Amino acid sequence: MWSTFLTTLRINLREKSSLFWLFCFPILLSTMFLGMFGNLDATYEVTTMRFAVVADDAYCGADGTRRLLDAMQRAPIRPAACTADSNAPAADTTSAGGVDLRDLLELTAVDDEASATALINADDDVRGFIAVDDAGLPHMTISRATVANANDAMGSPGLPVSLSILNGAFGLFNRQTLTVEQIMRTDPAALADPVFQTAARDTPGFTRQVRLTNFKPDEGARYYYALLAMTALMAMTFAVTTVCSTQANLSALGMRRSLAPLTRFRQLMGGFLASWLCTFCSLIVALLYIRFVCRISFGGRWAATLLAIVVASFTANALGTLLGSLPKLSAGAKVGLTTAFSCALSLLSGLYGSGAMALSDWIQRHAPVVAAVNPTQQVTNLFYDILYYDSYVPFFRTVGVLLTMAVLALALATVFLRRQRYAHL
């Protein structure tokens, strides 16, 4: 059995097409995902924008606007034109979700709007300029280049959302300022009313970011997990080939091995262990690449991640053993079936893009049994469970589902292979 194990290991590691599909292909696909989804998170991150600010008399006289702008800079500017500088503290712009708006702006003071316009036309890095009107309200003008970039979320990740935040802040500030000013003109007594004060401080309609899962949801991570699942299923080929090479009706090699005095069980066991090890290695390589190159998190739970790889590779080989043992099919048909299964089941687990992911979610909601019997979905869930849940219960539940699949597959394969003799060769 040891000799069969070593020989199968050698064969698997020297088979070029297997090496490509099981070691290179996941890395290539991960790299592709990195290109596609790598900027997805950055798109929603605040990015620091360079803006010019027209430091004229209106700006210097607008204390509220200056406090607002100071709150959105890491190093607030103090234009020389504003001799009577405000000593009031900047507004608190740190949100509960951890987004620090002091990273939003980097301002450069200019004398007038003409200078500001010249600057944004000359330097594409300056996104626009901010000017304060006679009423002390800020207004934003953005450059043509910024308009173009703002529509390219992939090329300029974070710019659209940062512009939206800035625009939203100015809009809110201006509305509240105008409201307060109007009330001061028409009903000053109302300013002393606690109800009014509360209403003015509140920001109705805003969404507070809270975290319910173990990790911040990462849209891209699910694709990588589905890729790991596909890699595991593709590795069924190892087991299929191993089983086929022991079957007398499929090749002369199988006939020769069937005539050997080493029992079929020991030959199959040696081959199974070698194939399991190869699958494990291919998943480990893919996992390390995904973790350290693509920077996809597995929640820092390395022991669970390792167990997930062990279980996924074991189940894949059990299913491969079952496919390899199917009677009345040629070895080529079995390998073809393996590839077809891997690809089709990966579609249902969401590997092939947002449409497939939506299909996967739909299946999970409306046909949970289909999701439960889909090994690629379950392997995907293994990593998903590790990342998102505080508790290990969902993870071990998924482990249980996969091990049940593996045991059933091996039992069926045993029925097919046990004392196999042929009516035809």
For the bound state, the minimum distance from the C-beta of residue 6 to another protein, rounded and expressed in Å, comes to: 9
CB of residue 267 to another protein, shortest distance in Å:
8
Interface pattern 80-99 for another protein (x via CB under 8 A): --------------------
Long-range contacts for 168-171 (Cβ within 8 Å, ≥24 apart)? Answer: 169/68, 169/72, 169/93, 169/101, 170/68, 170/138, 170/139, 170/140
Task: Determine the Cα–Cα distance for residues 90 and 73; give it in Å rounded to an integer.
Answer: 10
Q: Which stretch binds another protein (CB under 8 A): 52-60, 200-208, 256-264, 281-289?
A: 256-264
Interface stretch with another protein, choices 48-56, 77-85, 138-146, 246-254 (CB under 8 A): 246-254
Name the residue among 234, 406, 240 with its Cα closest to residue 329: 240
Q: Are strands 105-110 and 49-54 parallel, antiparallel or unpaired?
A: parallel
3-state class (DSSP) for residue 142: strand
The answer to the question of residue 192 lying near another protein (CB under 8 A) is no
Q: How far is CA 42 from the centre of its chain?
A: 12
Q: Considering beta carbons, is residue 227 or 240 the nearer one to another protein? A: 240
Residue from 115, 258, 297, 339 binding another protein (CB under 8 A): 258
Among 58, 150, 253, 307, binds another protein (CB under 8 A): 253
Is 259 a binding residue for another protein by CB under 8 A? The answer is yes
> Stretches 4-12, 93-101, 192-200, 353-361: which one binds another protein (CB under 8 A)?
4-12
330 binds another protein (CB under 8 A): no
Considering only CA atoms, which of 18, 32, 7 is closest in space to residue 282?
A: 18
214 binds another protein (CB under 8 A): no
d(CA 341, CA 250): 21
3-state secondary structure of 255: helix
Q: Quick check: 387 and 221 in contact, CB under 8 A?
A: yes
Question: Least distance in Å: CB of 1 to another protein?
Answer: 10
Closest distance between another protein and the C-beta of residue 252, in Å?
4
> Site for another protein (CB under 8 A): which residue of 3, 151, 164, 354?
3
- For another protein, the closer of residues 67 and 266 by Cβ is 266
Nearest to 213 by CA among 418, 414, 385: 385
Distance separating the N- and C-terminal Cα atoms of the chain: 26
| Contact set with another protein (CB under 8 A) | 3-4, 7, 10-11, 14-15, 245, 248, 251-253, 255-263, 267, 419, 421-425
